[in-house]
Structure formats: C-alpha cells, structure tokens
C-alpha cells in the first residue's frame, strides 16, 4: 500500500481543517516547500497536495506553491483543489504533476470529466470524492449533492477511471480512525478501482488495517502534524 503524506494550502501556508470546516483552520507551517522537503528527506516518495483556496473559489489559486514543490523536490505529486478548466489540467501536466484530483467538476459536470479521461488518459486523474453519509460533497466540502459515491464512481468506470480517493468528512481531521466500513463497501461494489483512503487516519495501526483490506494507498495528514505518526513509521509500513 502506498503511503501518501498530505499538504493542504490556504494563503500559501500549510494548514489542516477539521471535518472540512473552513472555520476550523489550523496553520501548522509557513512553508509548504519545507514540509515537502522533510517528507522527501525521510525517504517518502509521494505527496498529496491540496489547494483549499482553490477548492472553495473554483479555480487553482496557489500556483506558486505548486511550482516551488515541483521545482525543488522529486516527490511524485497528486494535486487537487479547484481544477475546473482544460487549461488548468494542461498546465498541471506540463509542470509534471503525477495525477490530478477531480472532485466538483466530476459531480457537477460529469461530461467534462469524461472528456478529460478520454483525452488525457485515465492514468493522469484521480476521482476525488468527499462524502458525508455516502453522498458526495462539492466545492471544497461546502455543497451537498444527492449523488452517492457508488453511482458517481460507476459513472466514470466506462471512461476508463482507474483511481478513486474517498474522504469521509465525518472522520476527516478527527484523529479517531478512518471509516473502515465505507472502504470495505467500496472495495466490494467497485472491485476494479484502485482505492485511496483519506480522512481520520490516526496511527500506524490504522494504516496496517487499511493495508490488510487491500487499499491501493492511504493519505495521511493531521496525524503527521499532531505527531501521532512519525515519518519513519510511514516509511516502514
């Protein structure tokens, strides 16, 4: 199972939210690049980079952070947050971003995402679904839809979708463990997708259990910044 540390950005700083609430922002570090370098120095290979300003505004905002991490580390970055246009997709791919997370567009304009999967290749994208009670949220967790995570993912499988990240908002930032039941259901109902766990991971034991149920990858955020898991533990999972 891949271990993917996370950096969330607001106003160019490294932050975390609690349960997706922009009113509950905690700034951990002033420089996301310094954090990324620490991950790389610890022997980690991947990075989940999220532009929270972009997610809320509907366009990528923190380009400078993306540029600096791409230019100054060799991390394999998946990026999300506000990607809404083909120009943004092409710019991110030109920068060498490994994969692009698509959330709101997939829920609100599914034909657009289908076209991107076919035009640029499904290997370049992750369907990133933030869910509450198995229903998808959009626009930086601020808008509830009536679309189930299962129906949304199945919609894009015919277009070649390979990767799905699912964040359970009830768990995210709570450090009380991920929603294992949800991931087991996703594995059963969407057996052909490579599933990435996100939200609530609080210990190395959580990661061991996610590996046991054969998740493709797990994203770890707040547990790192709150020193619940150290970087060496991540490397050794």
Catalytic residues: 8, 130
Question: Token digits for 16?
Answer: 């975390």
Helices 32-41 + 63-72 axis angle, to 10? 30
Question: Token digits for 5?
Answer: 């540390």
Degrees, nearest 5: CA angle 131-132-138? 50
Query: Could you give the CA distance from residue 26 to residue 1 in angstroms, rounded to a whole number?
Result: 29
- What does the CA dihedral 43, 79, 36, 174 come to, rounded to 10 degrees? -90
CA 233 from chain centre, in angstroms, equals 21
Question: Token digits for 63?
Answer: 């380009």
Query: Could you give the CA distance from residue 90 to residue 215 in angstroms, rounded to a whole number?
Result: 29
Q: Which residues are 194's β-sheet partners?
A: 163
């Amino acid at each position: 199972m891949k271990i993917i540390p996370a950096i969330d950005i607001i106003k160019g700083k490294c932050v975390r939210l609690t349960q997706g609430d922009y009113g509950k922002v905690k700034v951990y570090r002033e420089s996301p690049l310094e954090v990324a370098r620490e991950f790389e120095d610890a022997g980690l290979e991947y990075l989940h980079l999220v532009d929270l300003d972009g997610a809320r505004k509907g366009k990528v905002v923190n380009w400078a952070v993306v540029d600096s991490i791409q230019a100054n580390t060799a991390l394999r970055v998946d990026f999300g947050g506000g990607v809404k246009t083909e120009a943004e997709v092409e710019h991110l791919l030109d920068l060498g971003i490994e994969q692009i997370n698509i959330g709101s567009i997939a829920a609100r304009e599914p034909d657009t995402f289908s076209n991107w999967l076919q035009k640029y290749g499904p290997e370049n994208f992750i369907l990133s679904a933030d869910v509450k009670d198995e229903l998808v949220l959009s626009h930086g967790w601020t808008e509830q839809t009536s679309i189930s995570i299962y129906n949304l993912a199945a919609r894009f499988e015919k277009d070649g979708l390979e990767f799905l990240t699912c964040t359970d908002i009830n768990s995210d930032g709570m450090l009380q463990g991920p929603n294992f039941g949800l991931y087991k259901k996703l594995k059963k109902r969407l057996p052909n997708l490579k599933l990435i766990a996100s939200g609530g991971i609080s210990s190395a034991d959580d990661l061991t259990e996610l590996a046991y149920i054969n998740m493709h990858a797990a994203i770890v955020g707040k547990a790192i910044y709150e020193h619940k898991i150290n970087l060496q533990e991540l490397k050794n999972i």
